[in-house]
């Protein structure tokens, strides 16, 4: 923020805001911000994290009542003998679904082995108590408690971890959901009270759940862009928060999951669809076409024939085509000489063919009315392990860079 020399009358945009890091920094520095994310869960997290006006005393009263109700509900339901079949409720057309249960369609959306029955039932009990106690309260109040529940899912109750890709861990027969929930809620209360105690003027934040490939819906003039969009790789961004999205009712069926995927920039084979046309946007770029052709040649050389592997070269073309659409629709909304920072990483995910993400995006940006100010190293991370006949397995370092642009 300071590097961009922004003032309280400026507006900073994060078009791939994720869980709101840029927006929170904007609030702390008294700068107005706008966030966009195509994933409803990410947009939800950003909205809650930037809502600092909640009444702490009122939240405290609700918290006390909530803890008592959760403890009572855990005692009332025989969680120790629960199975996944007991978590299901049949869908009846026109009927109301119980908040403490899952439909068969919802349960199918959770990756196999990601949750054990008892921890899941305890999470559902907490969810039910939140909805019942916050009935009639402002949605921001309810969402504060729901966000805390999602932290428990990703940081203890679930049978998965990140390293950096999501992977399945050993099954948990049970988990202290309530104890974890209490501890995390205390931390959130502390952070909220600390933010409110800071007398410095806060920057207003607004979050949209939209497809960032088309920014034309924005009505405000944007003075700066600070963001980290997805990279072209094999990371399924809908899978990393699948349990949380199901718990909050944001994804309820295969159809609703597809809708979310269709809004995302095409960065992995699991969100590429037959009707996609973003690749046409970069047909004129020899540099991008050369990378795509190299990936396809490597696939044929290695005799890789799976359906996903056949899509590798298409993912790269769709990705850069989608990013071109994003830069094109963003350009008219930017103030004169607005500056932009895109944190992106090089990739070796597609059969070890190098994809120089920042360099290729810079080439696209110049055709859409941007000046490239520089490409700076942000950090180096450990990439895919490769086999070498002489030295055995080695770990490749991959660059993450900041692409700095300016509107011409």
DSSP for 22-73?
HHHHHHHTT-EEEEE-SSHHHHHHHHHHT---S-HHHHHHHHHHHHHHHHHH
- Predicted pLDDT of residue 85: 60
Residues of the chain with pLDDT under 70: 1-3, 76-100, 199, 383-394
Determine contact, residues 1/26, Cβ cutoff 8 Å.
yes
**Tokens 């095409």 found at:** 266
- Predicted pLDDT of residue 95: 44
What SS3 state is found at 284?
Answer: coil
Taking only the tens place, the pLDDT of each residue in 55-114 is 999 999 999 999 999 988 877 666 555 555 655 555 444 444 444 588 889 999 999 999
- Predicted pLDDT of residue 84: 57
- Predicted pLDDT of residue 93: 46
Q: How far apart are CA 274 and CA 182, in angstroms?
A: 46
Q: Left if phi > 0, otherwise alpha if psi is -120 to 50, otherwise beta: which for 339?
A: beta
What SS3 state is found at 394?
Answer: strand
- Predicted pLDDT of residue 87: 57
Structure tokens at 289: 């076409």
List the one residue out of 243, 208, 231, 19 whose CA is nearest residue 120: 243
Question: Angle at the Cα of 304 (from 303 to 310), degrees rounded to 5?
Answer: 130
What is the set of domains in the chain, with CATH numbers?
A: 8-50+204-407 (3.40.50.150), 56-197 (no CATH)
Q: How far apart are CA 95 and CA 79, in angstroms?
A: 26
Determine contact, residues 254/244, Cβ cutoff 8 Å.
no
Taking only the tens place, the pLDDT of each residue in 193-211 is 998 988 677 899 999 999 9
The residues, any chain, with a CB within 8 Å of residue 376's CB and separated by 6 or more, are 401, 402, 404
- % of the chain beyond a pLDDT of 70: 90
Residues facing residue 233 across a β-bridge: none
Structure tokens at 310: 């056949």
Q: How far apart are CA 248 and CA 40, in angstroms?
A: 10
């Amino acid at each position: 923020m300071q590097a961009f020399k922004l003032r309280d009358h400026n507006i900073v945009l994060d078009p791939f805001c994720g869980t709101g890091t840029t927006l929170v920094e904007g609030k702390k520095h008294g700068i107005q911000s706008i966030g966009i994310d195509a994933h409803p869960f990410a947009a939800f997290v950003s909205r809650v994290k930037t809502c600092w006006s909640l009444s702490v005393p009122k939240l405290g009263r609700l918290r006390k009542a909530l803890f008592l109700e959760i403890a009572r509900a855990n005692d009332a339901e025989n969680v120790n003998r629960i199975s996944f079949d007991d978590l299901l409720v049949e869908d009846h057309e026109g009927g109301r679904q119980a908040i403490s249960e899952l439909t068969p369609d919802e349960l199918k959306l959770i990756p196999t082995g990601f949750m054990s029955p008892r921890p899941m039932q305890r999470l559902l009990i907490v969810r039910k108590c939140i909805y019942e106690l916050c009935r009639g309260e402002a949605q921001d109040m309810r969402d504060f408690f729901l966000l805390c529940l999602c932290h428990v899912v990703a940081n203890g109750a679930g049978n998965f971890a990140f390293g950096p890709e999501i992977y399945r861990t050993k099954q948990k027969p049970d988990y202290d959901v309530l104890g974890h929930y209490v501890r995390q809620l205390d931390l959130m209360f502390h952070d909220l009270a600390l933010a409110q105690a800071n007398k410095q003027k806060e920057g207003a934040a607004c979050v949209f759940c939209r497809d960032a490939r088309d920014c034309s819906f924005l009505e405000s003039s944007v003075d700066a862009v600070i963001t980290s969009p997805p990279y072209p790789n094999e990371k399924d961004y809908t899978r990393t928060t699948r349990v949380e999205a199901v718990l909050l009712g944001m994804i309820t069926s295969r159809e609703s999951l597809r809708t979310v995927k269709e809004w995302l920039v095409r960065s992995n084979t699991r969100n590429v669809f037959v009707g996609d046309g973003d690749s046409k946007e970069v047909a004129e770029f020899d540099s991008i076409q050369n990378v795509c052709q190299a990936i396809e040649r490597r696939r044929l050389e290695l005799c890789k024939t799976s359906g996903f592997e056949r899509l590798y070269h298409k993912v790269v073309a769709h990705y850069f085509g989608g990013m071109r659409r994003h830069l094109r629709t963003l350009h008219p909304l930017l103030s004169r000489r607005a500056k932009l920072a895109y944190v992106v990483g090089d990739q070796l995910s597609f059969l070890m063919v190098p994809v120089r993400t920042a360099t290729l995006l810079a080439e696209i940006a110049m055709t859409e009315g941007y000046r490239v100010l520089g490409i700076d190293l942000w950090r180096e991370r450990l990439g895919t392990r490769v086999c070498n006949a002489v030295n055995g397995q080695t770990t490749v370092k991959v660059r993450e860079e900041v692409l700095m642009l300016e509107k011409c």
